[in-house]
Amino acid sequence: MANPYLETRIRTASPIDLVVQMYDGALRQIELAREHFEAGRVRERAQAISRALAIVNELRSSLDFERGAEVARNLEALYVYATDRLLEANLRNERAALDAAAVALAPLREAWSELATRPLDLPDRT
C-alpha cells in the first residue's frame, strides 16, 4: 500500500470496523461518480462506479449464509439491488440510479457503524 496511515488503519481495525470502511469506500466512490457525472467526465465516472461495484461485490462475497441465515439473505438482496443500480447508472448514464445505490447502502453503513461502537457481548466462559 502506498499510504502508510491507511495501511495501519486497516491492519488495526476490527472486522466490524473493516466493514464500515468498505461502506465508506463504496459511498465515497458513488459520490465521486456523481461529481464526474455532473462534470461530464465519462471515463472517470465509469472508474468510480467500477470501484464501488468491486467493494459491494466484496461485501457480498463475505456473507456467511450458514451463520447469518436470514440477515445474510437480506443483505445479499440489498447488495444485488445496489449492484444493479450501479450497473444501470453506468450503462444508461443515469444519475438517479447512483442515488438509489447510495440510498440502499447508507443505512447499512450507519447500522454497522452503530455496531462498531457497542461493546462485544462475549459468552461467559466461567
3 in a structural domain = no
CA distance 10 to 13: 5
106 in a structural domain = yes
- In tens, the pLDDT along 76-117 reads 999 999 999 999 999 999 999 999 999 999 999 999 999 888
27 in a structural domain = yes
1 in a structural domain = no
Q: pLDDT at position 13, please?
A: 67
89 in a structural domain = yes
Q: What is the pTM of this model?
A: 0.84
Q: pLDDT at position 68, please?
A: 86
120 in a structural domain = no
- Return all residues near 71 (Cβ < 8 A) that are at least 6 apart: none
Count CB neighbours of 33 within 10 A: 27
Full residue range of the structural domain in which residue 25 is found? 15-115
62 in a structural domain = yes
- In tens, the pLDDT along 24-56 reads 999 999 999 999 999 999 999 999 999 999 999
CA distance 107 to 119: 21
Give the chain's domain count: 1
125 in a structural domain = no
CATH code assigned at 104: 1.20.120.340
